[in-house]
């Protein structure tokens, strides 16, 4: 049992560091892609054709559901989720990469992160990104497989240990019966 506890603690530490690093890279990447779409808009003639091209490019190439909304404003700010590393990372990187007002909802739609950036007054870029684009979502499955495999190996070790101890117990009984 101490081995399983030690292994669980070590795996927890390693997985936490891995999850944090992957989330950092993914959040930065998503923020940079949103920043790129804004720069493309700024460099365009800002007409309807340019907006359609940017939306198409974002949706097709980057797998971001970008909608450019004219006459829109950012919704009122949401309270930050309790202990959400994703929101804090996205907040940090969106501030750096866009330099514009933004709004994030990471819990409103299952499997999606709703990010809205006010590019200019009355013009909002709304991005519905898959949550896998902002943080590592497969870490739990890895942890479950690790715990299950540890329990299977523990059961096998106990079976072998039982088989090794049985002759010693029989010898002790025989010695006790002998006198």
pLDDT at 85: 65
Contacts of residue 90, Cβ cutoff 8 Å, sequence gap at least 6: 27, 30, 31, 104, 106, 113, 115, 134
Kindly report which listed range (84-88, 111-115, 126-130) carries the lowest average pLDDT score.
84-88
* 104: pLDDT strictly greater than 80: yes
pLDDT interval class at 116 (50, 70, 90): very high
Q: What is the pLDDT of residue 139?
A: 65
* Exposure of 26 in the CB half-sphere (CA atoms within 13 A): 20
> 42 vs 20, 47, 85, 147, CA distance in Å?
33, 11, 30, 50
> What is the pLDDT of the chain when averaged over all its residues?
86
Q: Which one of 63-67, 115-119, 146-150 scores highest in mean pLDDT? A: 115-119
Q: What is the DSSP letter of 133?
A: G
pLDDT digits (tens, 9 = 90+) for 123-159: 999 999 988 888 777 666 777 787 788 788 888 988 8
Name 125's bridge partners: 68, 117
Q: Return the pLDDT at 35.
A: 93
């Amino acid at each position: 049992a101490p081995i399983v506890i030690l292994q669980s603690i070590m795996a927890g530490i390693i997985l936490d560091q891995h999850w944090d690093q992957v989330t950092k890279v993914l959040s930065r990447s998503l923020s940079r892609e949103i920043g790129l779409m804004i720069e493309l808009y700024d460099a365009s003639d800002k007409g309807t054709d340019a907006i359609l091209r940017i939306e198409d490019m974002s949706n097709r190439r980057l797998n971001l559901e970008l909608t450019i909304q004219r006459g829109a404003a950012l919704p009122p700010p949401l309270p930050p989720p309790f202990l959400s590393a994703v929101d804090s990372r996205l907040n940090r990187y969106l501030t750096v990469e866009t330099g514009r007002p933004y709004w994030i909802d990471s819990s409103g739609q299952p499997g999606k992160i709703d990010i809205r950036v006010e590019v200019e007054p009355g013009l909002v870029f709304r991005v519905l990104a898959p949550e896998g684009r902002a943080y590592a979502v497969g870490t739990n499955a890895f942890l479950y497989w690790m715990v299950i495999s540890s329990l299977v190996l523990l059961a096998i070790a106990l079976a072998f240990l039982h088989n090794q101890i049985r002759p010693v117990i029989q010898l002790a009984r025989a010695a006790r019966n002998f006198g």
